[in-house]
């Protein structure tokens, strides 16, 4: 099945360009129920291992409304990996992506690392990370649908995340011009060159659509603002769509939430668009976050 037919096969679906009524209704509801900002999606959690009914429904409501929630543990040291793993399980996040850099269980410790294996990857430096969704270079079978980013320790300065629900990016582009969506659902909207280190191919070249649908008709997105290591399709409509998306990401839109995770806080999301500002450590503050990437979407 081609990407195009996937998008037009579902009806009613807000993501079917031939079904403008379904889109209008979904869009109206989405914008009417959008949380007012980051503060509105913070949910306090007593025990990350076991959510109470009210905690679970509060998190679920945020995820339904904007594909993300911030949890804030009230435990004294809620930093054990098993606790974070259990929190994910409570929300249907099970299948971890064992990406490069992750431990045996599939959890990645994001901190400054200066060894040869890590230092060429920006997440392990203090540098800013441009807007992206996680795993934009993965195989289709290993598409990242869910993610948890848990803060063990923040930096002394910086390390802020900006977050944008990818469904709002879709709405923005479709409202501007539905042809932007047509361009970005193409299966070769962008190509990631092969990752070859010392003659060994760690990842072959791969072409991907920006917007895609899962079996349940849910929208997911692959995107990176990096200029290196990505080749956009030589298509004026793709170029125009990406420029519009970048303009939105660098605007002051209130739909972009910004915040710096503190100890015991974490982002749980359906792989929304995000970035990270540069940061500084000192002798007593060493930024450490756990990142868990899942093939599952949060079930709410």
- Interacting residues with Fe ion (CB under 5 A): 134
CA distance 273 to 199: 32
Q: How far is the CB of 125 from Fe ion (least distance, A)?
A: 14
**C-beta nearest to Fe ion: residue:** 134
Instruction: Pick between residue 134 and residue 165 the one whose CB is nearest to Fe ion.
Output: 134
Per-residue b/e over 150-166, b at no fewer than 16 CB within 10 Å? bbbbbbebbbbbbbbbb
- DSSP H or E run through 241: helix 236-249
CA 104 to chain centre: 22
Q: What is the nearest approach in angstroms of Fe ion to the Cβ of residue 274?
A: 6
Q: Are 249 and 273 in contact (CB under 8 A)?
A: yes
Nearer to Fe ion, 23 or 223 (CB): 223
Q: At what angle do helices 166-176 and 236-249 cross, to 10 degrees?
A: 130
Which CB sits closer to Fe ion, 83 or 134? 134
d(CA 222, CA 191): 11
Nearest to Fe ion of 14, 135 (CB atom): 135
Pick the closer one to Fe ion by CB: 58 or 221: 221
Minimum Å gap between C-beta 261 and Fe ion is 13
Whether the CB-CB separation of 91 and 69 falls below 8 Å is answered with no
Given a contact cutoff of 8 angstroms between Cβ atoms, the answer to whether 66 and 170 are in contact is no
The b/e string for 48-70 (b: 16+ C-beta within 10 A; e otherwise) is: bbebeeebbebbbbbbebbbbbb
CA distance 229 to 115: 22
- In the complex, the smallest distance separating the C-beta of residue 134 from Fe ion, rounded to whole angstroms, is 4
Sign of CA dihedral 274, 150, 254, 43: positive
Q: Which is nearer to Fe ion, 35 or 135 (CB)?
A: 135
CB of 77 to Fe ion, least distance (A): 25
CA torsion through residues 165, 166, 171, 172, sign:
positive
Minimum distance between the CB of residue 135 and Fe ion, rounded to whole angstroms?
9
User: Whats the size of the chain, residue-wise?
Assistant: 300
Kindly state the smallest distance separating residue 94's Cβ from Fe ion, in Å: 20
Please say which residue, 79 or 133, places its beta carbon nearer to Fe ion: 133
């Amino acid at each position: 099945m081609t990407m195009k037919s996937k998008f037009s096969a579902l009806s009613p679906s807000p993501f079917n360009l031939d079904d403008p009524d379904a889109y209008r209704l979904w869009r109206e509801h989405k914008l009417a129920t959008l949380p007012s900002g980051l503060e509105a999606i913070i949910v306090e959690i007593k025990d990350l291992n076991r959510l109470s009914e009210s905690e679970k429904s509060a998190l679920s409501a945020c995820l339904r409304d904007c594909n993300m929630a911030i949890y804030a543990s009230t435990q004294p040291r809620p930093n054990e990996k098993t606790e974070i793993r259990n929190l994910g399980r409570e929300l249907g996040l099970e299948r971890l992506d064992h990406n490069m850099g992750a431990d045996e269980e599939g959890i990645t410790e994001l901190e400054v690392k200066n060894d040869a294996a890590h230092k060429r990857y920006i997440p392990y430096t203090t540098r800013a990370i441009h807007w992206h969704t996680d795993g934009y270079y993965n195989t289709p079978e290993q598409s990242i649908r869910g993610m948890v980013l848990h803060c063990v320790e923040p930096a002394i300065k910086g390390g802020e995340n900006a977050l944008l629900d990818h469904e709002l990016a879709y709405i923005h582009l479709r409202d501007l011009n539905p042809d932007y969506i047509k361009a970005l659902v193409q299966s070769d909207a962008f190509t990631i060159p092969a990752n070859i280190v010392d003659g060994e191919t760690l990842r072959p070249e791969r072409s991907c659509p920006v917007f895609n649908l899962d079996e349940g008709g849910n929208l997911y997105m692959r995107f990176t603002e990096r200029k290196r290591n990505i080749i956009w399709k030589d298509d004026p409509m793709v170029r125009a769509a990406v420029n519009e998306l970048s303009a939105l990401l660098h605007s002051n839109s209130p739909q972009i939430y910004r915040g710096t995770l503190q100890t015991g806080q974490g982002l749980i999301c359906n792989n929304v668009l995000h970035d990270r500002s540069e940061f500084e450590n000192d002798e007593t503050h060493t930024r450490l976050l756990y990142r868990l990437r899942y093939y599952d979407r949060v079930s709410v």
